[in-house]
Amino acid sequence: MRRPVIGLCAAVEDVSYRVWNDAAVMLPRAYADAVQRADGLALLLAPDDAVAERPDELLDLLDGVLLAGGSDIDPLTYGAPPHPSVTGTDPARDRFEVALAHLALERDLPLLGICRGMQLLNVAAGGTLVPHLPDVLGSDRHRLEPGVFCAHEVRLEPGSLAAEAIGGQRTTVKSHHHQGAGEIGEGLVATGFSVEDDIVEAVELPERRFALGALWHPEVDVRSRVIGRFVDAARARVPERV
């Protein structure tokens, strides 16, 4: 049996490498490494307005979609006004990923959202975001230092996909974000919460074979089972496309 093809939604960023400084389609290698450790085939997906209009032609090639972390989601995407702490947005990426998420859910294609990807999944389902968690929490405890992951504990609802994916009802996770879920989107259920402050840390769509959003970063934790469980769900779909 062939390996399941996992589409990794990438960012467009200004990147310096060797003698070059240029716009690049990029994603931290940890995402591809985690997919490959689970015996999946990692395929980098660049934002594409034509695909945003016709996502079928891309999803026909994939067995699963991973909405990765990255820049803030434009508040206009969920009908909110600008916020001074929301910067570096990429509306083209937002459009592209919302379109993929909508159709992936419609097709029951395995879908995993990580950090920004969880937020994007919630927005795609009609939910909203808290644009800047320190406004609510009084501190930036989920992103203590830019560029450094911080650890905290998360509790998962018994019997949830999130609990199954991590193999228990409590776990210590690595986070780096300043936004979070506001109103939960239609059909989604909040199944994970920060122990310290009750921020929503996981959402899922129980009616789908695998539709999960995690606000933390399982790709940087080699012990995490989350991405492996997602790739397994995509692998189970492979015979349908052979």
Q: Would residue 217 show up in a list of annotated catalytic residues for this protein?
A: yes
Residue 119 has phi, psi (to 5 degrees) of -60, -40
Label the pairing between strands 200-204 and 211-214: antiparallel
Coil, strand or helix: which one is 3? coil
Q: Which of 142, 152, 178, 217 is catalytic?
A: 217
Contacts of 52 (CB under 8 A, 6+ apart): 92, 95, 96, 98, 99
Cα angle vertex 9, ends 200, 62, to 5°? 110
Residue type, 195: V
Q: How many whole angstroms separate alpha carbon 113 and alpha carbon 167?
A: 18
Q: Which of 97, 201, 204, 219 is catalytic?
A: 219
- Which residues is 41 bridged to in the sheet? 5
Q: Would residue 153 show up in a list of annotated catalytic residues for this protein?
A: no
Q: Which of 97, 115, 177, 178 is catalytic?
A: 115
Residue 3 has phi, psi (to 5 degrees) of -70, 145
Residue type, 104: A
Burial category of 12 from C-beta neighbours within 10 Å (exposed 0-12, middle 13-18, buried 19 and up): middle
| Residue whose pair of structure tokens reads 């492996």 in the numeric block | 228
Q: How many whole angstroms separate alpha carbon 40 and alpha carbon 230?
A: 10
Q: Kindly state the tokens that stand for 98.
A: 């919302």
Q: Would residue 219 show up in a list of annotated catalytic residues for this protein?
A: yes
The catalytic residue positions are 115, 217, 219
